[in-house]
Amino acid sequence: MGLVRTWALLVAIVMPAAASAQAPEKPAGAIRFATYNVSLYGKAAGEVVARLEGGADPAAMASAEIIRKHAPDVLLIQELDRDDAGRALSLYVDGYLGGAQYPHRVLFPSNTGIASGVDLNSDGVVGTEGRDYGEDALGYGLYPGQYAFALVSRLPLGPVRTFSNLLWRDMPGNRIPPELSSEGQAVLPLSSKTHALVPVEIGGTTVWVAAAHPTPPLPGNRLLPPRNADEIRLLADLLDPAASTYAVDDAGTAGGLPAGSLAVVMGDLNADPAGGNSVEGAIAQLLDNPLVTDPVPASAAHGANTAKFRRGAMRVDYVLPSAALRVVGAGVYWPEGDETLDRASDHRLVYVDVMLP
C-alpha cells in the first residue's frame, strides 16, 4: 500500500505540470531523432537498478515524462548505468517509458570504470578506489558501466558496430599529450565509453546513427581535453570512408560508413562551440563538416544551450543529420517553472525531425 501511495503522489506531482507544456508536433512522414542525458548513474554498482526496481524513482519518472511527451522514433539514452544483464535499461524502458513503443534496443559496451592497471593520470600510483580509481580506468567511472548509454527505437535496427577497443594511439595525427606513458598508450582506448554505428531501417532506406559520449574536458587532467577532441574527431572520421581507414571496430572490421550513407550524429559530446575548457575547434570538427548539417535546435528562453551546470548553461548535446536529410523540425526541451521536470537531469532533451530525401 505504501508503494501505491508513493507512486500516486509522484504521478500527481509530475503529470499536471507535464500536461500544461506544449509538446512539439512532428510533421507527417518525419522521423524524430533525439538524444537525452538522463543522469541515471549511481555511486556504486547496482544502485540504479535498485532505484528503478521500485517503479517510482522521481528522476526516472521526470525524464521519462519528457521523453513520452516528445515521442522520438529513435532515442539515444545517455548516462544510464550499464549492467551485464541489461536490467537497468529494461526497467527504465519497460517500467517508465512504456516499452512497447521501443521494441528495438541496443545496450552498448562501455569502457567506464574498467581498471586499466596503469597510472593514467600521472599521479605516481595506480588508483584502487574512488576518484583515483576512476581517473586510471579506461574511461572515467567508479565502477564498470557507470555513465554508459543505450539506443532504443520504434524502427528496426540492423547489425551494430562498436569501437570500444580502438586504441587512441592508433588514430593518425592524434592529440595524445606527452604525459601519457608508453604503458598507458598500450592500453588506453580512444573512446571513453564507446563509439557506435547503428543502422536504422526506415522502409527500404537505411539511416545510420553515429553515437558517442566523449569524456568531459575537465581542467586538472591534461588527458581529458585532447581525448574529448579526438573522440569527436572519430565521430567525424567515421562519416568519411577516406578518413576512417584506421578505425577498426570491435569485430575487427576497418573503416567507417560506406560512401553516400545517410546518418545522424547524436550524443552528449561535452563540447560547447564557445569553447569552455575544450580544445579549440573540437566541436567544429562536426559543426563545420560538410557531410552533416547543424539545425541548431533551440528553446525560446535558452537558445541553443542544452545543459545547465554550476559554471553556467552550455551547448553540449547534439543531433546532427546528414546534409542529404531534410530537417523539418528541431528543438531543445527546457522546462520553465516546473521544478520536478527540471530536476530530471542537468541536461535537456534535444530532437531533430527529418524527412528522407
> How far is the first Cα of the chain from the last one, in angstroms, to the nearest whole number?
53
Coil, strand or helix at 137: strand
Range 310-334 average pLDDT: 95
Length of the chain counted residue by residue = 357
Q: What angle do CA 285, 271, 57 make, to 5 degrees?
A: 135
Give the ranges where 136-191 is alpha helix by DSSP (H): 182-185
What integer pLDDT is reported at residue 23 of this predicted model? 66
What integer pLDDT is reported at residue 329 of this predicted model? 97
Question: Residue 15's pLDDT band (boundaries 50, 70, 90)?
Answer: very low
Question: Residue 310's pLDDT band (boundaries 50, 70, 90)?
Answer: confident
Question: Residue 276's pLDDT band (boundaries 50, 70, 90)?
Answer: confident
Give the ranges where the chain is alpha helix by DSSP (H): 2-20, 47-53, 58-70, 87-95, 130-135, 182-185, 224-238, 284-287, 339-342
172 burial via Cβ count (<10 Å: 0-12, 13-18, 19+): exposed
C-alpha cell at 141: 567511472
What integer pLDDT is reported at residue 41 of this predicted model? 97
Query: Does residue 247 or residue 341 have the better pLDDT?
Result: 247
Q: How many CB atoms lie within 10 A of CB 285?
A: 19
User: Using CA atoms, how far apart are residues 214 and 195, in angstroms rounded to an integer?
Assistant: 9
pTM, to two decimals: 0.92
Write the DSSP assignment of 199-240 as a string of letters: EEEETTEEEEEEEE-PPP--TT-TTHHHHHHHHHHHHHHHT-
What φ, ψ does residue 12 adopt, rounded to 5°?
A: -65, -35
Contact predicate 248/189, CB 8 Å: no
User: Using CA atoms, how far apart are residues 124 and 180, in angstroms rounded to an integer?
Assistant: 12
Q: Which domains does the chain have, with CATH numbers?
A: 29-355 (3.60.10.10)
Contact predicate 343/314, CB 8 Å: no
Q: How many CA atoms lie within 13 A of 48 on its CB side?
A: 27
Model pLDDT for residues 146-201, shown as the tens digit of each residue: 999 999 999 999 999 999 999 999 999 999 999 999 999 999 999 999 999 999 99
Q: Helix 58-70 vs helix 2-20: angle between axes, to the nearest 10 degrees?
A: 40
Question: Residue 21's pLDDT band (boundaries 50, 70, 90)?
Answer: low
Q: What angle do CA 111, 115, 120 make, to 5 degrees?
A: 90
User: Using CA atoms, how far apart are residues 238 and 342, in angstroms rounded to an integer?
Assistant: 34
Contact predicate 168/132, CB 8 Å: no
Q: How many CB atoms lie within 10 A of CB 242?
A: 9
Query: Does residue 10 or residue 112 have the better pLDDT?
Result: 112
**C-alpha dist (Å) from residue 244 to 113, 239, 254, 257, 336:** 27, 8, 8, 8, 42
Question: Residue 336's pLDDT band (boundaries 50, 70, 90)?
Answer: confident
Model pLDDT for residues 214-266, shown as the tens digit of each residue: 999 998 889 999 999 999 999 999 999 999 999 999 999 999 999 999 999 99
What order do you get walking across the sheet with 149-153 strand by strand? 104-107, 149-153, 74-80, 31-40, 350-355, 326-332
Q: How many CB atoms lie within 10 A of CB 26?
A: 17
